[in-house]
Amino acid sequence: MTVTVYSKPACPQCRATRRALDLAQVEYQVVDLSQDARALDEVVSMGHRQAPVVVAGAEHWSGYRPDRIAAVAALVAQAEHDAADAARLSAVRKAA
């Protein structure tokens, strides 16, 4: 799952969101809304008016949302677990 954080400089909620994603070990990209007018238009078109805006797969939200970050972290962990299981199963099938 691709996670993107649309952020602004000197934004406490943006820093808190990035910190929480780091602690949850979720990889993400950061887009600076003050430097990317097209990205700003994109988040506004999604209905957001404050930073940060987090886009995780088909989900998106604005503001510091620890509950949403935890849900994304759980989905990412499950996807990684499923991928590891599939790789192990593939290796067993090849060995047989």
Domains parsed from the chain with CATH numbers = 3-95 (3.40.30.10)
Q: Which pLDDT does position 94 carry in this prediction? A: 73
pLDDT in tens, 9-44: 999 999 999 999 999 999 999 999 999 999 999 999
pLDDT in tens, 71-83: 999 999 888 776 6
Contacts of 63 (CB under 8 A, 6+ apart): 13, 50, 52
The residues pairing with 32 across neighbouring beta strands, listed in sequence order, are 7
Query: What letter does residue 8 receive in the DSSP assignment?
Result: -
Q: Which pLDDT does position 80 carry in this prediction? A: 77
